[in-house]
Amino acid sequence: MKPFRKIHSRVVPLDRANVDTDAIIPKQFLKSIRRTGFGPYLFDEWRYQDRGEPDMDCSNRPLNQDFVLNQPVYRNAEVLLARENFGCGSSREHAPWALADYGFRAIIAPSFADIFYNNCFKNGVLPIILDSVTVDRLFHECKPGYTLTVDLAEQSIVTHFGETIHFDIDPARKHRLLNGLDDIALTLRHAEAIKAYEAKRVSEAHWLFVDLK
Amino acid sequence: MTGITLYDKLWNEHLVCVEPDGSALIYIDRQLVHEVTSPQAFEGLRLAGRKPWRISANLAVVDHNVPTTDRNLGIADAVSRLQVETLDSNCAEFGITEFGIADPRQGIVHVIGPEQGAILPGMTVVCGDSHTSTHGAFGALAFGIGTSEVEHVLATQCLVQRKAKNMLILVDGQTEQEVTAKDIALAIIGKIGTAGGTGYSIEFGGDAVRALSMEGRMTLCNMAIEGGARAGLVGVDETTIDYVRGRAFAPQGVAFEQAAAIWRELRSDADAAFDVVIEIDAATIKPQVTWGTSPEMTLPVNALVPDPEQESDPVKKESMARALLYMDLKPGAHITDIRIDKVFVGSCTNGRIEDLRAAAEIVRGKKKAASVKQVLIVPGSGLVKQQAEEEGLDRIFKDAGFEWRDPGCSMCLAMNADRLEPGERCASTSNRNFEGRQGYGGRTHLVSPAMAAAAAIYGHFVDISALAEKSPRAPTNPASSNGHQNKPKLHRRAKPSVAASAKPKPAAKSSEQTRQKQKSAGNTSASKPQQEKGRKKVETV
């Protein structure tokens, strides 16, 4: 996994609450068996005026010019500013894959849906929770040209105007994201403990270990 | 000392170890696998040279992409076909049991798991699908995960987790006859909002929950995620035990009774402390219809479409206005005046036998409204389909002009050919009314199976309570919690074959009798924990 340390970037303000994963990446793109290539279809139904299909060449598709992602001033932004309950709906990891593939590295919102929040950390995307008053203020500040610096080690955001905002993050998640660690390898360090747990459970509740044939 | 919640009991029992940083390693008893969220997980295993930790912990099925008609012709969409074939080859390569497209047990992952007894009380259950919360109906800790975690569970049989907070939603009293688990679920989400349960595991209790069949409890827990909670839970009672008894992968005979004795303890202690308790009076819940693009945008069928101008919160006001624009609805319109183009009965929320019976009761002897273009009835599994055909439900639907399809996720999310066209409006028994969910530009109204069926007959939403007053009808089949009568014939471990005898379903008892029976069967003391000590916040609705 790509580590996340510090970024300085433009910010895209997506001023909608309850942005669901169907909006982030519509279902037809979930048919892919790969982890990459979802970026061009991020927010597909909001971003384009036609109906997107997998493997479509997006370079000539009619753009919805009103949609914030299509405004040239926000090109190459790595930070997305969002409203509450961002990422609600399905568990599809294609949502953070699409955001990461597009180039987003951090998302700031007052709240995230649980599964989406968790999925972000598996893909080098940092979801930052700030109180809604602060997020509201950032939306007001966020005019074209606005930038932020996000520093994970310091757990800080420095705004365009030099203000420092602290954010909280679980220390284990921070450590894994800062170092881009492989979660499976970390868990497998506990292989003996897992085997011991299984041995105990087989004697207590053997029906949990039935062969599904 | 305060008692322990069911969630905490399940958590404690599955704790393998705790890291110095406080994160916990939780053992996963069962992983359900489907074609959409697993290919990249298997690929990850291959790239890292890893093998599944415990192959028999996994059960796979194809559901999201499968066609619901003309299966003999295969899957026309090449991209869908590749995804289905990829699951077939991954399961073959790693030795995982899979119900392929031709298997009579094939169906929606959250229908087939319980149906086969692959979900047992006390288990931890995961799947790369948010509606895994369904299985909490069995007193199992069940939640949806992303693909990286699917790979993690395949490789280690564990997940790194953080403990959720505990929420108790008590639905006490008795619902009106027409009010189903779906209406209870929508009414709850309407109250707490789609983020109300974020960070919580929600346990559902109270008389009205105890009175639900397992199918109803699955519907309720299925929708927990629409209220933001990854996991929903219902404590174990005899309804649970009866449902599990005799299922293919459940323990049999003496072993079953041993297991059942342990399962009966899977309830929150009477003095368990919950972080939040919400109380809802069952009698106040009416049949629900969603009017917007989020499941929390729900109202009783006899209500009026709301006016954003009456909303003071600017973010909510904006969401409402956007939703009304997308749904092409005007504030103040009667919900019963909303005309619909299509109807979908099915999904992991409402694709079980009880759901099909409820729809059939409304439809019997009637015809689809001429203005309704299409009505899809999509059973949740091959065995549900077979059971429904044995009961003659398929004839009722076909005679009404409905389409009787093969099992799969179908138009819940329109990954196969079943979908809405731009602008079409659907009465749907599924779980999400997001923009474009059922097809690009499609408009979804979430309802119960009976409400969907009634909309198909009348061409617009109708208050089925009023309908019942006009023409008394037999109550919907009450047998569902009694276990055996309800089980598809092919649930035994024997190699699947075409169904045996068509056993007529038992005559319907009055719903009053059923309620009495179910109430006494359920452990009422456990259903309503006396959590006075632990309450931090109590809301009465």
Tell me what pLDDT residue B15 has.
Answer: 98
- What does the block give as tokens for B93? 């390569």
State the Cα–Cα distance between residues A140 and A109, nearest whole angstrom: 14
pLDDT (average), residues B129-147: 98
Query: For chain A, percent helix, then strand, then coil, each to nearest 5?
Result: 40, 15, 45
Between vectors from CA B332 to CA B330 and to CA B337, what angle results, nearest 5°? 75
Q: Do A212 and B432 make contact, defined as CB atoms within 8 angstroms?
A: no
Chain Cα centroid distance, residue A185: 22
pLDDT tens for chain A, residues 1 to 213: 889 999 999 999 999 999 999 999 999 999 999 999 999 999 999 999 999 999 999 999 999 999 999 999 999 999 999 999 999 999 999 999 999 999 999 999 999 999 999 999 999 999 999 999 999 999 999 999 999 999 999 999 999 999 999 999 999 999 999 999 989 999 999 999 999 999 999 999 999 999 998
CA distance B221 to B230: 10
Contact residues, A window 55-114, toward B, CB-based 8 Å cutoff: 55, 83-85, 88-93, 96, 111-114
CA distances for B181 relative to B10, B130, B355, angstroms: 24, 19, 10
pLDDT(B472) > 60: no
Looking at this predicted complex, what is its ipTM? 0.96
Inter-chain touch B149–A30, beta carbons under 8 Å: no
Distance from CA of B16 to the nearest CA of A (A): 6
- Positive or negative torsion for Cα B40, B114, B105, B396: negative
**Pick from B327, B341, B404: nearest CA to B372:** B341
For residue B468, the model assigns a pLDDT of 67
Q: Quick check: B192 contacting A, CB < 8 Å?
A: no
Q: Do B198 and A22 touch (CB under 8 A)?
A: no
User: Is the separation of the CB atoms in B344 and B428 below 8 Å?
Assistant: yes
What are the pLDDT digits (tens) for B324-349? 999 999 999 999 999 999 999 999 99
Strand B24-27's sheet: what is its strand order?
B15-18, B24-27, B158-161
Residue B23's pLDDT band (cuts 50, 70, 90): confident
Give the mean model confidence (pLDDT) for residues B456-470: 87
Q: pTM of this prediction?
A: 0.91
Taking every pair of Cα atoms in chain B, the longest distance, rounded to a whole number of angstroms, is: 66
A200 min Cα distance to partner chain B (Å) = 11
User: How high is the pLDDT of residue B257?
Assistant: 98
Query: How far, in Å, CA of A158 to CA of A156, rounded?
Result: 6
pLDDT, tens digit, for every residue of A40-75?
999 999 999 999 999 999 999 999 999 999 999 999
Q: Please answer yes or no on whether B440 and A91 come within 8 Å at the CB atom.
A: no
Give the integer Cα–Cα distance in Å for B342 and B420. 8
B357 CA to centre of own chain? 16
Strand order in the sheet with B425-428: B403-404, B374-377, B342-345, B425-428, B443-446
- Inspect the interface and report whether the beta carbons of A31 and B316 lie closer than 8 Å: no
Taking an 8 Å cut-off on Cβ atoms, the answer to whether A212 and B322 are in contact is: no
Whole-number pLDDT of residue B516:
34
Q: Report, as an integer, the average pLDDT of B487-510.
A: 38
Strand partners, A123: none
Contact between B440 and A198 using a beta-carbon 8 Å cutoff: no
**Is residue B521's pLDDT more than 90?**
no
What are the φ and ψ backbone dihedral angles of B291, each rounded to 5 degrees?
Answer: -110, -10
Chain A contact for B177 (CB, 8 A cutoff):
no
For B244-297, the DSSP string reads: HTT-TTS--HHHHHHHHHHHTT-S--TTB--SEEEEEEGGG---EEE-SSSTT-
Q: How many contiguous H segments (helices) and E segments (strands) does chain B have?
A: 19, 20
Contact across the interface for A16 and B318, Cβ inside 8 Å: yes
DSSP string, B412-461: GTT-SS--PPTT-EEEE-SS---TTTTSTT-EEEE--HHHHHHHHHHSB-
Give percent above pLDDT 70 in chain B: 86
Query: What 3-state DSSP class applies to B137?
Result: helix
pLDDT the model gives residue B402:
98
pLDDT at B469: 57
Q: Give A 122-141 residues with CB within 8 A of chain B.
A: 122-123
Mean pLDDT of chain B: 89
Which residues 155-174 of chain A have a CB within 8 Å of chain B?
Answer: 170-172
| pLDDT category of residue B500 using cuts at 50, 70 and 90 | very low
